[in-house]
Chain A
């Protein structure tokens, strides 16, 4: 991870940042293994450069963006809460730019309703993608509705903690959607496709009764196997600190995003 400059962003929080060692050491990135320490331990051989992201589908001007072009977008720091579907959370200083700026460049067509994302497949560099036991089908895919993708809170992140993204955090470019569970934040993106149909999402395909397409943070809708009403803030208080805190609707971003879901039953569209 190399130093990366960014302007202070519009979004800050008056909550303590999660220590960098936890942000970069406690990760879910099954391409590198299912343990929380696996991504940091097993991603050393991964090569995030050179890199390009092919953006196409229902757009007027399909384009493949090289990493240099992505880094040339005006970068800002965004301090966001990150709520994992496993009921833990962090506060993370991302560096990135609004996904909307990238979408503007390719000019989505009128019938584009969704945005589909795809992670790289590199079994030689990603041990979770090779061998006898593979926890998920590859490539990892995710999707957003176009209005969600264009929301100003939604960013493509290229850095964290003042540096380019470490491999375990989804180098060199990943999605961050702070009002949704962390698994929506697809990592190491190689393809972005505008579509007119709801695209598949890896966890939704893998266990539809447990993970929905929307995956908005919602303390009222439990995961079948655990409550989502509260969360463990990582890196706070250790063993004895009362580090369990109530989970906020839309992860605390309800004022900004609740309107996107007006009239929808969020118990059904979880």
Chain B
């Protein structure tokens, strides 16, 4: 596989900022549509759903960075923090929309939902677990926490699983879209225990043998 054309180093920082801006476009666009009465039917639910779906997409993208590097040799590590933080912002907006626009600040109804409905309990757990990761997604925390940072951020596997499960359990009939996210998250998490062996095999000339064959 030919390598992708590399982005010149001087654009790296700018491309990360661009990702933050582009990443927030779906939320801004959905909010504008909803606030101006352009979302048909049940605008609050539509917006809530859009935010949840993008949160899940950014979680999947975050988890995909490592396998992309292992399998295709593409190093997009510089975007991972932005993707993870975008996922956090979307989850936060998803929850806020549910709390403010959907339940109109009926705190007791929200608490009852969190306590009684497994899919909401699971989603809420994912949100709570994301908070420490978002708070430590900066260079200072990485230096400060040392090896513990990596351990802490393994929580993202649990969070992504919670997100996919939350989506699948929220619908009346689990369809192809829900299965797709469950499968994607499962595959991306399952890659983690496989990758040390795969990378050893790659370094040990596995690729060369494959090329000769």
Contacts and interface: CB of A to CB of B under 8 A. Distances in A.
Given A225-B169, A227-B112, A230-B109, A240 B41 contact: no
Interface string A226-242: 11011010110011101
A25 B39 CA distance: 12
Interface string B46-57: 010000000000
Contact of B42 (A224, A226, A230, A232): A232
Interface in A10-36: 21-22, 25-26, 30, 34, 36
Contact of A244 (B40, B104, B112, B116): B104
B162 to A, nearest CB: 16
B175 A26 contact: no
Contacts of B113: 226-227
A86 B172 CA distance: 9
A136 interface: yes
Given A226-B113, A229-B109, A238 B37 contact: yes
A135 interface: yes
Nearest to A26: B41
Contacts, number: 70
B170 interface: yes
A264 B190 CA distance: 51
- Size band of the A side of the interface? 20 to 34
B35 interface: yes
A37 interface: yes
A234 B117 contact: no
A261 B172 CA distance: 28
Contacts of B173: 30, 34, 135-136, 206
Contacts of B171: 34
A175 B98 CA distance: 33
Contact of B175 (A86, A133, A243): A133
- Size band of the B side of the interface? 20 to 34
A37 B35 contact: no
Contacts of A207: 172
A36 B42 CA distance: 9
A88 interface: yes
A222 interface: yes
A239 B175 contact: no
A232 B176 contact: no
B107 interface: no
Contacts of A136: 173
Interface of B: 34-35, 37, 40-45, 47, 101-104, 106, 109, 112-113, 116-120, 169-173, 175-176
20 contacts: A25-B40, A34-B171, A34-B173, A34-B175, A86-B172, A88-B42, A88-B45, A136-B173, A222-B116, A225-B118, A227-B109, A232-B44, A232-B45, A235-B41, A238-B35, A238-B37, A239-B34, A239-B37, A243-B44, A244-B103
